[in-house]
Structure 1
Amino acid sequence: MLVLEIGVVVIYGICLLFMLGFSLSQWQLTRLAGRTGPVAAPPPPAVWPHVTVQLPVYNELNVVERVIDAAAALDYPPDRLHLQVLDDSTDESVARAAARVAYHQDRGLRIDHVRRATREGYKAGALAHGLTCTDGEFVAIFDADFVPAPDFLRQTLPHFTSPRVGMVQTRWGHLNENASLLTRLQAFGLNAHFLVEQVGRRVGGHFLNFNGTGGVWRRTCIEDAGGWHADTLTEDLDLSYRAQLRGWRFAYLPHVVAPAELPEQLDALKSQQYRWNKGAAETARKHLGRVWCDASLPLATKLHASFHLLNSSVFAVILLMAVLSVPLLFVRAHRPELKPVFRLAAAFLLTFVPLTYYYYTTWRLAGGPVTGRWFAPQFLLFLAVSMGLALHNTRAVALGFRGRASPFVRTPKLGAAPEGGRPVRRYRTRESGALPLMEGLMTLYFLVGLGAGCYYGDYGLLPFHLLLVVGYGLVTGYALQGLRPQPAPRPVTQPILAR
């Protein structure tokens, strides 16, 4: 029995060390981000290059026309611009997209509606196929929920002055940040990545990543790195590492914002989180060894790349720590001889210090003091919901490291609301009924942990258990809300477009 109890403590301690290392890496990126000012804008090129804008879509009835119109409104010489709607759809959105493409063709734009016989390779396959149908020197990519500003290309292309710059990424904006608590918390987390983490990586000379959309690639960089691969669910992260391992440099422009839509329902968010976390694990499995075998990379860059690629594994570590924290209370109560060792349990709070600094900087840069939103409640709710998603995301991470293939499931988008109402939800994702049940049971499990801590007078893990109860309780509540019958979408009767 003693061996088992010591094993619990040892595993918990290893998890704690990983979390502390991850938190310190985020703290250093925050420090690096604070050392830089605005990105200087290079002069525009004497002759604007040929650019292809790719819009990969799949069953995007709610937003497909909006993204096509936004791309068509880009302020760029029309003789040097080629738009591609890479449409793998199987529903009525195909007709909508075709009609919108025809409308802009009649206005003189070079725009193609590209269809494939199959969805082979999913998004990566669509992007690769699109490249065979165009001659653009640069390739801008926008997912269906993005609405790029007209000056997007004129702001990004001058940053390709150096021939070794292979990709320019911009910051995501949020069209529906204030739609709900869920969207506000997502915006809070994404802002940390785009306002602090990406900036710190750029300043430190560490690996950056293309975020799948809202960026521009040099075509020769894509080709030199081996093109788009479909063996991970994060084809963007995969290509980013392959390109940078071949010596290409990336630029990041936090002042250029590409607005996009955030998932408003829990099942849509979980679908997105599953893809991101499983894909990150697949990419880590594919490239982590290559990073450490590259003798040209500094140790600091290798460490940051490791935490970058293992970012999704944080959910697995948090879940393991959470599950072990309850028996840890019982072991401590009945093994007083191990009391000095058990003091490390409370050291979990130390990981909050650099993370608090990281997210406080994000909140300040995102205008938190101006909006009047208090930092502490937002930060604690974000942590709680992140912990509540740990069970779902850990499953994705485990499947990613096991190398089990799975389809690319796109995130449902709502688009703009009809006048006087809410957006019509036409697409849903399906989730196994067992997982929400397990998340509900986790809520009860951590309530037991709260009670045990109070019973034994051991309050070191009380904040952790409170966050877990709130997080799993919220996730379970959102899941139950999603089980309610949804009104059927109204039939599409309005004209496809007005000429």
Structure 2
Amino acid sequence: MKFILIVCVVVYALAMLFILLYSVAQAHLLYRFRRFRRHGRREAPPAPEVWPAVTVQLPVYNEKYVVERLIDSVAKLNYPSDKLEIQLLDDSDDKTTELIRGKTRQYPHLNLQHIRRPDRTGFKAGALKYGLALAQGEFIAIFDADFTPQPDFLQKTIPYFANPKLGMVQTRWTHLNKEYSILTRLQALALDAHFFVEQVGRNSQQAFINFNGTGGVWRKTTILDAGNWQDDTLTEDLDLSYRAQLKDWQFLYLPEVESPAELPPVMSALKSQQFRWTKGGAESAVKHLGAVLRSPKSLQTKYHALAHLLNSSVFVAVLLASLASVPLLWGKVNSLLPEVVFRAGAVMLLSFLVISLVYFQANFLGKSTNINRVRGFLLYYPLFLAVSMGMALHNAVAVWEGWTGRKSAFIRTPKFNLEGRQHKWQQNLYLSLKMPVTTYLEGGLGLLFLVVAAWGVAEAEYNLLIFHSMLALGYLLVFYHSFVSYRKT
């Protein structure tokens, strides 16, 4: 038993150390973000005398709820029509194709191309690569089906490409349905931290950033020079971003340019998205970590790249730390572990304070009053942290598959357009009805940590009470909302 306790102490310490090292990178990004806010504001470049040719790519697969809204939005882009090409890269096998044909007929004055591939090889990456071979534009703007780009999007982004070394411009996602539910509010909190603090913090020091898959513009020659779109990871955007920047192409992030999009309103859709992002991130880490470490980039840049590529691994660390903490509590209750073990663990928990500051900063960049921002943060952040911990098992499985090279299909995130239609989310035909085994395990873990938290209180041992209570709440919430959304009840 003593050996098991020692193993658990080592696992817990290593997991918390990983989180601490990750939080150091987050702290530096927060510092760089605040510095940029004070001193780094830039003047927009002048419009070019002659606007270059642009191809807008819209990769679509079974998007009947949002595809018409997407086409209407793109049709409003304020750009010379003779320089604008719009590719609808349609891999659909349902009514979406018919809707596209009907909608495109409403815009005969636009160069709207409805492109159908022979098969769906390579999924989204394959569709983008197929369309790129046909594209006439010097620059490639990409929007997923749930986006509604602003009319001046190209006018605000294309002028920056006067810099011949600039390969990609990414804009900031905003949220069409942030107020729909608590789940969408929590997602907005997470994404705002990424799109405000992380992306700005990295880009302000010329560290690696990533194209976020949509809401951005590429120089076509950059894509080709970096090896074109590849489908060997589930995050083709992150993969291409690192290949391009390792070839010394510059990237630019524009937080002032907004790209509105829809957030998944139910847990099963969110899990589908999270699984692809976390597994793809792990696959990209396996693919690029060696090249990053061998590159002539500075140590600071490499450190941030490591934190960036391994950020999905935080879920593995949380899962391991939570499982190891149960024997640790048992050892403490039975006086088998010295107090110093828990004091050291408390120091490691400072990392959560740093991460909290990142989200607090992002929360303060909205449009509401300071009082409402503080109130909202105090209400939603603890819940966000608990749910994030409750996603640890689901996302750790995705990371493990990415690390070990297990391949899986590109599963699209169901889109809903609940803001613009009268149907209920339960009527969405793209929702999966098959509940994975991990959902039942999440329910079991929620009950386990609830019992462990109660046991700690009964034994008057409070060192891990907050940790176990949040794990119990998070896992039970994730289980409940997963069960409801998979069953469509």
Residue 95, structure 1, aligned to residue 98, structure 2: yes
Q: Which segments of structure 1 move beyond 3 Å, counting only runs of 4 or more?
A: 367-373, 416-424, 430-433, 483-486
- Offset at residue 32 of structure 1 (A): 0.2
Partner residue, 1:344: 344
Name whichever of 68-77 and 210-219 sits farther off.
Answer: 68-77
Please give the alpha-carbon distance, in whole angstroms, between the structure 1 residues aligned to 2:409 and 2:385. Answer: 29
Please give the alpha-carbon distance, in whole angstroms, between the structure 1 residues aligned to 2:365 and 2:222. Answer: 32
Residue 123, structure 1, aligned to residue 104, structure 2: no
Q: After the TM superposition, which residues 298-313 of structure 1 pair with which residues of structure 2 at under 5 Å, given as runs?
A: 298-313=298-313
Partner residue, 2:89: 86
Distance of aligned partners of 1:39 and 1:9 in 2 relative to their CA distance in 1, 3 Å threshold: same
Unaligned runs of 5+ in 2: none
Please give the per-residue CA displacement for 1:136-182, whole angstroms capped at 9, x wherever unaligned.
10000000000000000000011112111000000001000000000
Aligned 8 A contact 1:267 1:431 in 2: no
Q: 1:71 aligns with which of 67, 70, 74?
A: 74
Please give the per-residue CA displacement for 1:228-253, whole angstroms capped at 9, x wherever unaligned.
00000000000000000000000000
Aligned 8 A contact 2:16 2:349 in 1: no
Name whichever of 5-14 and 254-263 sits farther off.
Answer: 5-14
Aligned 8 A contact 2:125 2:231 in 1: yes
Residue 224, structure 1, aligned to residue 218, structure 2: no
The code of the aligned residue for 1:271 comes to S
The code of the aligned residue for 1:314 comes to V
Partner residue, 1:109: 110
Residue 314, structure 1, aligned to residue 321, structure 2: no
Give SS of 1:146's match. coil
Please give the alpha-carbon distance, in whole angstroms, between the structure 2 residues aligned to 1:375 and 1:337. Answer: 37
Partner residue, 1:357: 357
Q: 2:432 aligns with which of 429, 433, 439?
A: 429
Residue 448, structure 1, aligned to residue 443, structure 2: no
The code of the aligned residue for 2:376 comes to W
Name whichever of 340-349 and 181-190 sits farther off.
Answer: 340-349
Please give the per-residue CA displacement for 1:187-206, whole angstroms capped at 9, x wherever unaligned.
00000000110000011211
Aligned 8 A contact 2:331 2:337 in 1: no
Partner residue, 2:249: 248
The code of the aligned residue for 1:64 comes to V
Please give the alpha-carbon distance, in whole angstroms, between the structure 2 residues aligned to 1:431 and 1:480. Answer: 10
How many percent identity over aligned positions? Answer: 50
Aligned 8 A contact 1:346 1:461 in 2: no
Please give the alpha-carbon distance, in whole angstroms, between the structure 1 residues aligned to 2:73 and 2:409. Answer: 29
Name whichever of 30-39 and 275-284 sits farther off.
Answer: 30-39
Partner residue, 2:395: 393
Please give the alpha-carbon distance, in whole angstroms, between the structure 1 residues aligned to 2:72 and 2:420. Answer: 18
- Offset at residue 102 of structure 1 (A): 2.6
Please give the alpha-carbon distance, in whole angstroms, between the structure 2 residues aligned to 1:374 and 1:254. Answer: 22
Partner residue, 1:496: none
Taking structure 2 as the reference length, the TM-score comes to 0.96
Please give the alpha-carbon distance, in whole angstroms, between the structure 2 residues aligned to 1:408 and 1:337. Answer: 46
Aligned 8 A contact 2:52 2:138 in 1: yes
Q: 1:49 aligns with which of 52, 59, 62?
A: 52
Give SS of 2:88's match. strand
Distance of aligned partners of 1:273 and 1:430 in 2 relative to their CA distance in 1, 3 Å threshold: farther
Residue 140, structure 1, aligned to residue 141, structure 2: yes
Please give the alpha-carbon distance, in whole angstroms, between the structure 2 residues aligned to 1:41 and 1:13. Answer: 47
Partner residue, 1:377: 379
Please give the alpha-carbon distance, in whole angstroms, between the structure 1 residues aligned to 2:433 and 2:311. Answer: 25
Partner residue, 2:407: 405
Distance of aligned partners of 1:418 and 1:2 in 2 relative to their CA distance in 1, 3 Å threshold: closer
Please give the alpha-carbon distance, in whole angstroms, between the structure 1 residues aligned to 2:8 and 2:368. Answer: 40
The code of the aligned residue for 1:377 comes to L
Give SS of 1:147's match. coil
The code of the aligned residue for 1:175 comes to L
- Offset at residue 133 of structure 1 (A): 1.1
Partner residue, 1:490: none
- Offset at residue 27 of structure 1 (A): 1.0
Partner residue, 1:265: 266
Name whichever of 15-24 and 359-368 sits farther off.
Answer: 359-368
Distance of aligned partners of 1:340 and 1:41 in 2 relative to their CA distance in 1, 3 Å threshold: same
Partner residue, 2:193: 192
Please give the per-residue CA displacement for 1:250-284, whole angstroms capped at 9, x wherever unaligned.
00000000000000010000000000000000000
Q: After the TM superposition, which residues 127-206 of structure 1 pair with which residues of structure 2 at under 5 Å, given as runs?
A: 127-206=128-207
Q: 1:477 aligns with which of 465, 480, 485?
A: 480
Aligned 8 A contact 1:225 1:243 in 2: yes
Please give the per-residue CA displacement for 1:379-432, whole angstroms capped at 9, x wherever unaligned.
111101101111111111000111111111100011145666646522112544
Please give the alpha-carbon distance, in whole angstroms, between the structure 1 residues aligned to 2:135 and 2:414. Answer: 29
- Offset at residue 309 of structure 1 (A): 0.3
Q: 1:467 aligns with which of 463, 466, 470?
A: 470
Task: Name the count of aligned residue pairs.
Answer: 483
Please give the alpha-carbon distance, in whole angstroms, between the structure 1 residues aligned to 2:447 and 2:318. Answer: 17
Please give the per-residue CA displacement for 1:103-150, whole angstroms capped at 9, x wherever unaligned.
22x2x2111000011100000000000011122100000000000000
- Offset at residue 337 of structure 1 (A): 5.6
Name whichever of 39-48 and 214-223 sits farther off.
Answer: 39-48
Residue 239, structure 1, aligned to residue 240, structure 2: yes
Give SS of 2:253's match. strand
Please give the alpha-carbon distance, in whole angstroms, between the structure 2 residues aligned to 1:337 and 1:375. Answer: 37
Aligned 8 A contact 2:61 2:90 in 1: yes
Distance of aligned partners of 1:457 and 1:268 in 2 relative to their CA distance in 1, 3 Å threshold: same
Give SS of 2:449's match. helix
- Offset at residue 454 of structure 1 (A): 1.3
Aligned 8 A contact 2:23 2:355 in 1: yes
Give SS of 2:382's match. helix
Please give the alpha-carbon distance, in whole angstroms, between the structure 2 residues aligned to 1:41 and 1:357. Answer: 30
Please give the alpha-carbon distance, in whole angstroms, between the structure 1 residues aligned to 2:488 and 2:441. Answer: 22
Please give the alpha-carbon distance, in whole angstroms, between the structure 2 residues aligned to 1:206 and 1:485. Answer: 43
Name whichever of 156-165 and 477-486 sits farther off.
Answer: 477-486
Unaligned runs of 5+ in 1: 487-499
Give SS of 2:114's match. strand
Distance of aligned partners of 1:63 and 1:418 in 2 relative to their CA distance in 1, 3 Å threshold: closer
Please give the alpha-carbon distance, in whole angstroms, between the structure 1 residues aligned to 2:405 and 2:336. Answer: 43
Please give the alpha-carbon distance, in whole angstroms, between the structure 1 residues aligned to 2:124 and 2:263. Answer: 19
- Offset at residue 377 of structure 1 (A): 2.1
Please give the alpha-carbon distance, in whole angstroms, between the structure 2 residues aligned to 1:337 and 1:320. Answer: 19
The code of the aligned residue for 1:55 comes to L
Aligned 8 A contact 2:139 2:219 in 1: yes
Please give the alpha-carbon distance, in whole angstroms, between the structure 2 residues aligned to 1:136 and 1:303. Answer: 36
Q: Please, what is the CA RMSD of the aligned residues?
A: 1.5
